[in-house]
Structure 1
């Protein structure tokens, strides 16, 4: 009788580590952290806000900034005062329960800040004005 050759090679052990399941887990964790993370919204310009006694931390869905040169920034882009209504309406379509914070520079015209605040109020957006602690 002929001797059968074993299919298992006991002399050499080639061990390969399958990395596919580990990579799947890493990608699932990455997706989880990206989806659950909260991104901070910035208006796109640094303004010097006036001082006030009462402050609180807010997480608005819209940030509007008015600079000392009376430029209106929404989502890091400059808009003319006539364009603000269209942009706000577009943002309201994306999020009907939007809340806004206006960051007005202390050198900005109060009339422009009040016009933006009134416009946001007309469109049904809850508005707060951002200040700094004294």
Structure 2
């Protein structure tokens, strides 16, 4: 009687990967279904779309410049952030349909630009455009 050898040498133990793949696919479906897609909230503002002049006079629009150093200019006047509202209200008294263009230098603090926007909104202006200084 011959004795059987324990196992064939060329046969190897195999691991069945099917249950693991099932679990991976179930987890993938779970994460896709439970993910919520939320639109991020932020500040809404209008930027100028083109460089063509409008029908309104150039003097009717109010130009506010925010510099890198934190200086704020309305036209050629240097003003403090708290004085933006009265200055804009004064100019609105002269031209009630005026729009405000805020030009911020590239390295200007965003918080300061937002404060200026808030001050302009407080003055009662509905048309506000924000652009980077140097770009048109």
TM-score, L = length of structure 1? 0.53
Gaps (5+ residues) in structure 2? 1-47
Alignment of 1:1-134 (within 5 A): 55-57=49-51, 61-125=61-125, 126-131=127-132, 132=135
Number of residues of Structure 1 aligned to a counterpart in Structure 2: 81
Q: Structure 2 length as normaliser, TM-score?
A: 0.53
Please tell me whether Structure 1 or Structure 2 has the larger radius of gyration of its CA atoms.
2
8 Å contact 2:84–2:120 — kept in the other structure?
no
- In 2, the alpha carbon distance for the partners of 1:124 and 1:96 equals 10
Runs of at least 5 residues in structure 1 that lack an aligned partner in the other structure: 1-53
CA RMSD of aligned residues (A): 2.2
Q: Could you tell me how far apart the structure 2 residues matched to 1:79 and 1:123 are?
A: 15
CA distance in 2, matches of 1:83, 1:55: 29
Shift of 1:55: 4.1
SS, match of residue 103 in structure 1: strand
